[in-house]
Amino acid sequence: MPYRKTQAIVLSRSDYRDNDSILTLFSPDDGRVDVLCRGCRKPRSPLMNAAELFTMGEFVLFSGKGHEAVHACTVIESFYPLRLDYTRLRHAALMASACLKTIQPGESMGHLYILLARSLKRLAYEELDPEVVTTAFLLHFVTLSGFKPRLNHCSRCGKRMGEEGGFLLAQEDGICCLSCGKDAPKRSWLSKEQLQWLRLVLALGLDKMEEHPAVPPVEMLKQYTEAKLESGLRGF
């Protein structure tokens, strides 16, 4: 069939010709979908809102001449408040960049799609600090990507991490205790409270956590993610 329908989030867009755009969609069932959106940059185009970054919608796609094009779209959520807050927009762009590094055409990634949708909703509509939302997103992202960090035992000596902090090292796949991490950079140090926050986020999720007294720097989780993906992330 030349037409198909898929729910998706717009991760990136680039101008094409005078009034068109090339969109990269993230579909929970179809992974990465690159499509042409004709006429979406015209002032009265019915596809104008569908082509905005981070828009979630039901896209009707038409296949023809070697590519797919957006035929119609019903917008489910625009996450419009992100466009009014530059800080939150930067955090959303970082999340989109991470997803773009991972998703593949034709590959179902429903759990990552749900993580992104929930994180964008938190950024747009909740009063949580963007650092909290993005740090939690990156922790769950690397876990879903197969790089879950070891947080309960030292990655070098194997001893159980008790009431102490440690170094978060990508090359060691997790935490190193103070004794084993003497050669580790100081910027990778997590206090015992920050380490416990990471454990709770993985175990409970943000929704069940009432307070966030000690959140690790988002830059630390960004660097851990970049090392695991072997690629830099944009937007932050």
Q: What is the pLDDT of residues 108-158, one digit of tens each?
A: 999 999 999 999 999 999 999 999 999 999 999 999 999 999 999 999 999
How confident is the prediction for the chain on average, in pLDDT?
A: 94
pLDDT at 152: 95
Question: What pLDDT does 1 receive?
Answer: 52
pLDDT of residue 223: 95
Q: Is 33 helix (H, G, I), strand (E, B) or coil?
A: strand
Residues of the chain with pLDDT below 70 are 1, 236
H-type alpha helices, the chain: 86-102, 110-125, 130-144, 192-204, 218-229
| Domain 3-78 superfamily per CATH | Nucleic acid-binding proteins (2.40.50.140)
pLDDT at residue 66 in the model: 74
Six-digit token string for 25: 């969609």
The pLDDT value recorded for residue 136 is 97
pLDDT score for 65: 76
| Residues contacting 106, CB < 8 A, separation 6+ | 30, 31
> What pLDDT was estimated at residue 74?
97
pLDDT for residue 2? 87
pLDDT, position 67: 84
The fold adopted by the segment(s) 81-229 is: de novo design (two linked rop proteins) (1.20.1440)
In this prediction, residue 236 carries a pLDDT of 64
Q: What residues does each domain of the chain span? A: 3-78, 81-229
> Strand 174-176's sheet: what is its strand order?
174-176, 166-169, 189-190
d(CA 75, CA 149): 36
Beta strand 67-77 pairing with 20-27 = unpaired
Quote the Cα angle for 196-229-183, to 5°. 55
